[in-house]
Chains A and B, each alone.
Chain A
């Protein structure tokens, strides 16, 4: 990450992709609204993709050490339970992350 040109290019590429996604309904809203298939995909994909990202990240983190997937499963379960009942994203994210950092650094895992 010491190559400034590379990092700046990546930042602008990610920025353009994000802006494009956010702008699409304002540019092609009529088209999107005319196609029920796109709308149904819009109801299906966000939950599917979030689930995939969560699973993918947990699998990746669990493979980064030799102690099995337990710290990841406990920390994600904690974050989910906190978010489900308290509905406070900061509390869920901090709670889950701190639990994970504690488990990984306490020497149990």
Chain B
């Protein structure tokens, strides 16, 4: 399959979603080129969407960095299945592949045939980012001119989280994480409604630790 054919489904998603991102970013009051900078430098859809209201509210950089950490935590585990297939050299190629490891690029790279050349891998990764940046630029330019106020367009982030949740659910090892998360959020919302997300994450990690300590006998620990 040609590189173009492989990346077309990603283009169909990245161009429109990038456009909405660029539009919302500019409508929130930033210059058009900052939207493009975000798609070049951050290149993580959910985190970029999430930053918009935080930037508009003037939240501290540390809060934005922490929120990015939470939203992108799943990326920490993507590289594990690609350790062997990424080229060691040239280093710039390896570094770019690691930088550009979004959800979609990850699923493309992990489903490519074993004999895929490193050149093809880089081309796929770069084309994917091109679609995202192109979409962002289009949206930013529209947003800089248009005066449309549609309340609720930022719900695109909730829909994106819904999609990611469904996909995580499909590849689940057990249903426990979902139930633990729901219970943790309910508890956190009652205890500390202003910090519900952070408290719920801490509760979930604690629950995961307890569940696993119980499940794995001492002998299994390497």
Contacts and interface: CB of A to CB of B under 8 A. Distances in A.
A82 to B, nearest CB: 9
A97 B73 CA distance: 25
B58 A8 contact: no
A49 B185 contact: no
Contacts of A58: 158
Contacts of A33: 80
B58 A6 contact: yes
B204 A59 contact: no
The A interface is mostly helix, strand or loop, or mixed, namely: helix
B12 interface: yes
A19 B143 CA distance: 28
Interface string A16-59: 11110111111001001111110011111111111111111111
B64 A1 contact: no
A49 B70 contact: yes
B197 A93 contact: no
A106 B14 CA distance: 28
The B interface is mostly helix, strand or loop, or mixed, namely: helix
Contact of B72 (A17, A56, A76, A100): A17
Interface of A: 1-2, 4, 6-19, 21-26, 29, 32-37, 40-59, 61, 71-72, 75-76, 79-80, 83-84, 89-90, 92-97, 100-101, 103-105
26 contacts: A2-B29, A4-B31, A7-B30, A10-B61, A11-B41, A11-B42, A14-B41, A14-B64, A16-B65, A18-B75, A23-B99, A25-B80, A32-B80, A45-B208, A47-B168, A48-B177, A49-B204, A51-B182, A54-B162, A75-B158, A83-B162, A89-B163, A90-B16, A96-B155, A101-B151, A104-B152
Given A22-B101, A44-B176, 11 more contacts: A4-B31, A6-B58, A11-B37, A21-B76, A26-B86, A43-B173, A46-B77, A52-B197, A52-B201, A93-B160, A94-B159
